[in-house]
C-alpha cells in the first residue's frame, strides 16, 4: 500500500506542470494526461465538488469489481452479495471526520477518478478534484488503512 501511495504522490506532483496554465483543466486534457497511467477513468464537471454532493461521493457498494473485472472478494451472508461492504465511501467519510468542513458556498469544478494502470493487484484507485478557479496548488492525502479513496472527503473538502 505504501508503494501505491508513493505512485499517487508522484502522479499528483507532476499533474500541475502540464496543466498549470489552465485555470480549470477540462476532462479531455485530464483524460489525455492519464492515458496509459490509469484505467476505468471517469471524469465529469460538477456544480459542487464538496462531498455533501452525491455526484462526487459514490454510493456504498457501487463498485463490485476490481479494475480488471474480477469480482471483489467476500462471502454471501443473509442474502447480501458476496462483496457487500467492500466499497463504502459514504460510510468512510463519516467515520474519519465528524462532518463536512464549513465552506462559504458551492465549489464548481472537475472530478476525475479511476484505477492505476500499473497496479499488479488491480486495486489501487484515486480521486482528483480541480475547482474551476484552481490555483495550481495541490493537497495530497492518502486513504487510511482499508478505507476507500473517499475516506477523508469531509476533512479535505
Task: Say what the pLDDT of residue 33 is.
Answer: 95
Q: Quick check: helix, strand or coil at residue 19?
A: helix
Quick: pLDDT tens for 116-141: 999 988 888 899 989 999 888 888 87
Task: Say what the pLDDT of residue 118 is.
Answer: 94
Cell of 150: 473517499
Between CA 129 and CA 139 the distance in angstroms is: 10
Cα distances (angstroms) measured from residue 90 to each of 36, 109, 144: 29, 20, 15
Give yes or no for residue 13 having a pLDDT over 70: no
Quick: pLDDT tens for 49-77: 887 778 888 888 888 888 888 877 776 77
Confidence class for position 83, pLDDT limits 50, 70, 90? low
Give yes or no for residue 93 having a pLDDT over 90: no
Task: Say what the pLDDT of residue 23 is.
Answer: 55
Indicate the average pLDDT of the chain.
Answer: 78
> Of 153, 97, 119, 152, which is closest to residue 2 (Cα–Cα)?
119
Task: Say what the pLDDT of residue 147 is.
Answer: 77
Confidence class for position 9, pLDDT limits 50, 70, 90? very low
Amino acid at each position: 500500500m505504501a508503494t501505491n501511495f508513493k505512485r499517487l504522490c508522484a502522479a499528483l506532483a507532476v499533474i500541475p506542470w502540464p496543466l498549470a496554465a489552465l485555470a480549470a483543466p477540462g476532462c479531455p486534457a485530464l483524460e489525455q494526461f492519464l492515458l496509459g497511467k490509469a484505467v476505468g477513468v471517469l471524469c465529469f464537471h460538477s456544480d459542487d465538488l464538496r462531498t455533501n454532493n452525491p455526484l462526487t461521493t459514490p454510493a456504498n457498494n457501487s463498485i463490485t469489481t476490481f479494475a480488471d473485472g474480477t469480482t471483489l472478494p467476500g462471502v454471501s451472508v443473509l442474502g447480501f452479495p458476496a462483496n457487500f461492504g467492500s466499497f463504502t465511501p459514504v460510510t468512510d467519510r463519516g467515520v474519519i471526520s465528524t462532518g463536512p468542513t464549513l465552506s462559504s458556498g458551492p465549489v464548481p469544478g472537475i472530478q476525475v477518478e479511476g484505477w492505476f494502470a500499473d497496479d499488479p493487484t488491480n486495486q489501487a484507485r484515486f480521486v482528483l478534484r480541480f475547482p474551476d478557479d484552481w490555483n495550481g496548488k495541490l493537497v495530497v492525502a492518502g486513504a487510511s488503512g482499508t478505507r476507500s479513496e473517499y475516506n477523508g472527503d469531509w476533512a479535505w473538502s
